[in-house]
């Protein structure tokens, strides 16, 4: 289950994600039109609703791991 938490002007989207036998924490951050990381592909249905609820001007990726870049392709329009 995805949770959205506010830390001042920063919105943090977090979830525990299972992929086979592995479980990982996923975090996506949003501030002032910037999305920082994009989360895992398995979270796309839930993340899509979040993405549509905020104006995203650009995306910043911290590093190329699945939990950071999994849905980066959807913001290509």
Of 5 and 41, the one with more pLDDT: 5
C-alpha 8 chain-centroid distance: 18
Radius of gyration, alpha carbons of the chain? 12
Q: Would you give the DSSP letter of residue 41?
A: G
Task: Pick the closest to residue 67 from 11, 33, 19 (CA basis).
Answer: 19
Q: Each residue of 11-44: pLDDT tens digit?
A: 999 998 887 898 888 999 999 999 999 988 888 8
Q: What is the pLDDT of residue 75?
A: 52
Q: What is the pLDDT of residue 35?
A: 94
Q: What percent of the chain has pLDDT over 70?
A: 95
Residue 77 confidence class, pLDDT cut points 50, 70, 90: very low
């Amino acid at each position: 289950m995805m949770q959205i938490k506010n830390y001042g002007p920063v919105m943090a989207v977090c979830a525990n994600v299972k992929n086979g036998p592995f479980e990982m924490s996923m975090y996506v951050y949003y501030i002032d039109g910037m999305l920082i990381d994009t989360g895992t592909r398995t979270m796309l249905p839930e993340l899509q609703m979040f993405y549509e609820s905020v104006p995203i001007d650009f995306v910043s990726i911290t590093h190329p791991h699945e939990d950071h870049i999994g849905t980066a392709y959807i913001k290509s329009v």
